[in-house]
Every structure is written in structure tokens, then in C-alpha cells.
Amino acid sequence: MTDDAHPALDSIAERLGDRLTFPGDPRWNAVRSPWNLAIDQHPVAVAAPGDLDDLRALLAAARADGLQLAVQPSGHGASGTLDGTVLVRTAAFDRLEVDVEGPVARIGAGVRMGGVLEALAGTGLVAMSGTSGVVNATALTLAGGHSWFARSLGFASSSLRAVELLTADGRHRWLRDADDPELLWALRGAGGAFGVVTAIEIDLHPAPVLTGGRILFESTDAAPVFRATRREHLALMVAMAGLVPLLWWLLGLLKGSAPLVDSLVTSLSLAAQWLLNRRVLENWVWWIIVDLISIPLYASRGLPLIAALYVVFLALCVQGWVRWRALVAAEPVRAAA
């Protein structure tokens, strides 16, 4: 039973049984909590309807009591206290159908994206999944959904073909662009703001070739591993940074306006890069050299603010180098790591 007067909601408590939870119940804190525990939700009740009839009854009761419904399938997306709201969990809506020939998938509002990907294993098809398989597939898609493949195939919402929607008037139907293009446009990113979505239909896409793996080292090898990776990463940055003055100098040559300072700066930069790659220079020393040669470069180009910025960088690098040498002298192994 609710603490306040919500007679309609109380009237369906017997029907829903333990699928409707109120404050004071021993399970209350567990069922009301979102995935992000920093959000403290205090809804009027938490409901987990077992089917469409339960959901309709819950919607009617909420309307009669002047309450709102907030659908939060897997606890993600929490952003408020949910005062005056019935929190709805949709785990029971777990239908999942894959049409490889379509290729489309019909996904119930209780299915997590990990379940969708498992169903697609071996088909050569992929859904627009996010970075975590525990996120609800319907919620991810309706909220926009940044996918691993977003750059080539768009957001997850771009693959939404149809929704099975329960609206406030109690109607439950499948809707496509041909039925209500404006509503479908809004649902692609606005979440469930226009009703309770009980299922979605999405496009599936040919799975690209993915290559992945990992390299493991013993903890006793930490120092040389960190030392090696640090050098290789910096060598890549150095290679990119060393191209900047070189390209600048070549551009000046093509225009017939390469002053002597550009040639000098370019030579010093490339020499410092070569020495670093040969392990002759320490990283801090290389950055100090880069700063020293960048200051006259930008100053000669009429860019005093950028030159001044490199003066600041130079001071920081000198300070860092001094601290680094002190650390190496005090704790060689820790410094190497």
C-alpha cells in the first residue's frame, strides 16, 4: 500500500502481487535503485508488469491517481528523484525474433543488448549496440544510441524501423514511418516520452571484420614494459610533431619564402627526433628542445601569443625534467615504471 492516497494504484496491488512494490517493502531499496547509485530515486511505487494487460491496468491506475509512468528497463538513464511517478521495469517483455533474410530483429522492451548480440552470433549480422551488453536494447535505441559502428552506420536510432507502442489512451499497436512519420521521427532520440514502448523492430547490418586481442605480462615485468610502451608511444607523437616544422618549411620553399630560421628550426627538430628515437635523449629533454625551437619559429611568424605559450611549456618541462631526475635518483624502479 502507498503512504499517500492512491486508491487506483492500491486497487491493482492484489492483481500484480509482488510485481508491484511500495515504500516500506523489504525489497524497496533494491527495486527502486538505478544502475547509477549516485541517483537517489523515490518513486511512488515500482512495477514490473508481467504482460500487456498488467501494463494497461498500471497505466489506467496511474492516470486515475494523477501519477506519471517512468519506464526504466535496466536502470540506466536515471536523472531525477521520480516524485509522483510509478517506476516501470519491463523485464517480462523478453521476446526476441531475428529475421536473417530481412534482415531485421524484433526486440522486446525487456531484452538487453547482450542478448541481441548473442542471438546474432554466427549470422554475419550485427545490431547497433553500445559499449556495454547490459544496457537495454530498446532504451538504447530510443535514446539515440551511440554505437561501435556509429561512424559508418549511424546511431542506433537510425536503424529503428518500427515500435510497438502503448499510448496514454490505452491503444497498443505497431507504428512505422508510413503510419505516423512525425511520431517515429520523435521516437528516434526522445526515448519513451510519447508512450510505453513494449517492443521495437530494427535493421540489422552486415558485420564488419573486427580484430582484437590483448597482451599480458607478468607483474614482475612491469618496469621494463612501462618503460618500453612509454618510449614507443612518445616516439609516435614525436614522429607526428616532427612533421609540423618540416611541412611548414617545405611550404615556405614552394612559395619561395623560407627564411633561415625555418631551415634552422626544422634541422634542430629532426635532429632531436632522431636522437630521441635512438634513445640518446630523455623524453623530458626532447620536449625542452621542441619548446626552445618552437619559440623563435612562432615569434618569427608574427605569432607572439603562441610563442609565449611555448615559453610556459618550456618552464613546465624544465620543472618536470628536474623532478624526473630526482625521482630516478631516489627510486629507479618506480621511475622506470
Which residue, 90, 113, 70, is CA-closest to 202?
113
Of the pLDDT bands very low, low, confident and very high (cuts 50, 70, 90), residue 163 is very high
Q: Average pLDDT for residues 167-191, to the nearest whole number?
A: 90
Of the pLDDT bands very low, low, confident and very high (cuts 50, 70, 90), residue 1 is low
Percent of the chain scored above 90 by pLDDT? 43
What value, to the nearest 5°, has the Cα angle with vertex 280 and ends 277 and 281?
Answer: 85
332: pLDDT strictly greater than 50: no
Please state the pTM of the whole predicted model. 0.63
Mean pLDDT taken over the chain: 79
**Separation CA 298–CA 221 (nearest Å):** 43
Residue whose C-alpha cell reads 512494490 in the numeric block: 21
Rounded to the nearest 5°, which phi and psi values hold at 136? -65, 135
**Separation CA 56–CA 172 (nearest Å):** 9
Domains along the chain? Answer: 7-88 (3.30.43.10), 96-206 (3.30.465.10), 219-336 (no CATH)
**Separation CA 104–CA 69 (nearest Å):** 29
Q: What is the pLDDT of residues 251-295, one digit of tens each?
A: 555 555 555 555 555 555 555 555 554 444 455 566 666 667 667
Does 167 or 231 have the greater pLDDT score? 167
Of the pLDDT bands very low, low, confident and very high (cuts 50, 70, 90), residue 333 is very low
Q: What is the pLDDT of residue 47?
A: 95
Q: Average pLDDT for residues 155-170, to the nearest whole number?
A: 92
Q: Average pLDDT for residues 2-23, to the nearest whole number?
A: 86
Does 120 or 313 have the greater pLDDT score? 120
Q: What is the pLDDT of residue 75?
A: 84
Of the pLDDT bands very low, low, confident and very high (cuts 50, 70, 90), residue 317 is low
**Separation CA 169–CA 333 (nearest Å):** 69
Q: What is the pLDDT of residue 300?
A: 67
Does 197 or 290 have the greater pLDDT score? 197
Q: Average pLDDT for residues 300-325, to the nearest whole number?
A: 68
Of 85-89, 277-281, 323-327, where does the model show the most confidence? 85-89
42: pLDDT strictly greater than 60: yes
336: pLDDT strictly greater than 70: no
Q: What is the pLDDT of residue 246?
A: 54
**Separation CA 305–CA 310 (nearest Å):** 9
Please write down the long-range contacts of 269-277, taking CB distance under 8 Å and 24 or more positions apart: 269/242, 269/245, 269/293, 270/242, 270/246, 273/238, 273/239, 273/241, 273/242, 276/234, 276/235, 276/238, 277/235, 277/238
Alpha-helical (H) ranges within the chain are 7-11, 13-16, 28-32, 52-64, 113-120, 137-142, 150-153, 181-190, 222-255, 260-277, 283-300, 304-330, 332-336
Of the pLDDT bands very low, low, confident and very high (cuts 50, 70, 90), residue 161 is very high
Does 328 or 128 have the greater pLDDT score? 128
Which residue, 199, 198, 190, is CA-closest to 88?
198
Q: What is the pLDDT of residue 302?
A: 66
Which residue, 228, 65, 205, is CA-closest to 127?
205
191: pLDDT strictly greater than 60: yes
193: pLDDT strictly greater than 80: no
Q: What is the pLDDT of residue 165?
A: 94
Q: What is the pLDDT of residues 116-138, one digit of tens each?
A: 999 999 999 999 998 888 999 99
